[in-house]
């Protein structure tokens, strides 16, 4: 190595040393008091986080204790008691404001949360192997006929026409059978919404009445209508299905809200209580703690 190269290397080392000294001179000097304050703040935040974690653990332990107390209750009391806002409450004594808060918490967005709420209820039941009862309706070759008298027109209500009409009534008039439904076959699958379309007078109402077992006894009905393979003659169809007429009769003393609540309580109330009882029993056996809001909602509307 030549003397010139040695001199250049020493110059580079001096330049690097000078740059390091300048950088250290420009760096801010943090006083020891500030360093101590920063250390105190970090310790304070650490202690607060530990305190909140400890508080969260306490809340979980309290919730577990409340659920354990509910599970020790008799079956009937357990169906009426739930945890709402970290407190064990009797769902029968919830006021309108508390129910509204519960529903608003579960259905914040009416476009999306309605389906989400139903799915949460179904997942809770399926988790313990409980399913909603389903009904499949089948009808084959259903034929409905009406026996009618043949008349030539309705005369004016005079004394002479009344006497003549009475005399004709004593005699045998010609009869005719008018078919309303002619060999209709179909099936209604569970969990499926079916729309029945047709022009006026085509027999839509007659078909629905036939499926509900509410046809007039004067009509001649042939064919088969089955609910889960059982014929209408083997059970009471009114306990399984209902025909809602287009003419509604309401009690004038009831408000709209009371009318809707009254109607809603007739939709599967009996089976709902039995299903809830079975879900609670299986959850207790499996050691499963349900979602408090879902549990309260399902118990409120028993």
What percentage of the chain exceeds 70 in pLDDT? 72
**Rounded Cα–Cα distance for residues 103 and 17 (Å):** 71
**Rounded Cα–Cα distance for residues 295 and 81 (Å):** 9
- List, for residues 249-287, the tens digit of each pLDDT value: 778 888 888 887 777 666 655 678 888 889 999 998 888
Give the confidence band of 20 by pLDDT, cuts at 50, 70, 90: low
pLDDT at 28: 47
pLDDT at 39: 46
Model confidence at 42: pLDDT above 80: no
pLDDT at 34: 39
- 181: part of which helix (H) or strand (E)? strand 175-188
pLDDT at 257: 82
Model confidence at 241: pLDDT above 50: yes
- Residue 125 in contact with residue 132, Cβ under 8 Å? yes
pTM: 0.58
Model confidence at 13: pLDDT above 90: no
* Least confident span in 48-62, 100-114, 158-172: 48-62
pLDDT at 259: 83
Can you tell me the mean pLDDT for 207-216? 91
- List, for residues 135-186, the tens digit of each pLDDT value: 999 999 999 998 877 666 666 677 777 777 777 666 666 677 889 999 999 9
User: Regarding predicted confidence, which is higher, 59 or 187?
Assistant: 187
pLDDT at 197: 92
User: Regarding predicted confidence, which is higher, 168 or 119?
Assistant: 119
Other beta carbons within 10 Å of 221: 19
Q: What is 267-292 written as a DSSP string?
A: SSHHHHHHHHHHHHHHHHHHTPPPPH
**Rounded Cα–Cα distance for residues 211 and 232 (Å):** 9
- Residue 148 in contact with residue 178, Cβ under 8 Å? yes
**Mean pLDDT of the residues in the chain:** 78
Model confidence at 43: pLDDT above 50: no
pLDDT at 230: 92
């Amino acid at each position: 190595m030549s003397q010139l190269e040695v001199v250049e290397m020493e110059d580079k080392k001096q330049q690097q040393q000078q740059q390091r000294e300048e950088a250290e001179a420009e760096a801010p000097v943090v006083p020891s008091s500030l360093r101590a304050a920063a250390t105190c703040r970090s310790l304070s935040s650490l202690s607060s986080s530990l305190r909140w974690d400890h508080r969260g653990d306490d809340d979980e332990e309290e919730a577990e204790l409340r659920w354990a107390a509910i599970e020790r209750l008799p079956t009937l009391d357990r169906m009426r008691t739930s945890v709402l806002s970290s407190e064990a409450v009797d769902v029968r004594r919830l006021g309108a404001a508390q129910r509204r808060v519960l529903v608003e918490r579960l259905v914040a967005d009416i476009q999306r949360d309605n389906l989400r709420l139903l799915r949460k209820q179904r997942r809770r039941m399926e988790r313990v192997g409980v399913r909603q009862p389903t009904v499949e309706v089948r009808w084959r070759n259903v034929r409905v006929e009406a026996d009618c008298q043949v008349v030539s027109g309705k005369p004016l209500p005079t004394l002479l026409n009344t006497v003549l009409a009475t005399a004709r009534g004593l005699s045998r008039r010609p009869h005719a059978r008018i078919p309303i439904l002619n060999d209709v076959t179909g099936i209604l699958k569970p969990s499926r919404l079916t729309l029945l379309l047709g022009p006026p007078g085509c027999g839509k109402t007659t078909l629905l009445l036939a499926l509900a077992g509410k046809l007039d006894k004067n009509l001649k009905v042939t064919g088969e209508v089955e609910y889960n393979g059982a014929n209408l003659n083997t059970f009471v169809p009114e306990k399984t299905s209902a025909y809602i007429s287009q003419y509604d009769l309401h009690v004038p003393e009831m408000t709209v809200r009371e009318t809707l609540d009254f109607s809603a309580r007739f939709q599967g109330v009996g089976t709902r209580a039995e299903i809830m009882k079975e879900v609670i029993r299986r959850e207790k056996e499996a050691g499963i703690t349900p979602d408090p809001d879902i549990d309260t909602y399902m118990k409120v509307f028993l």
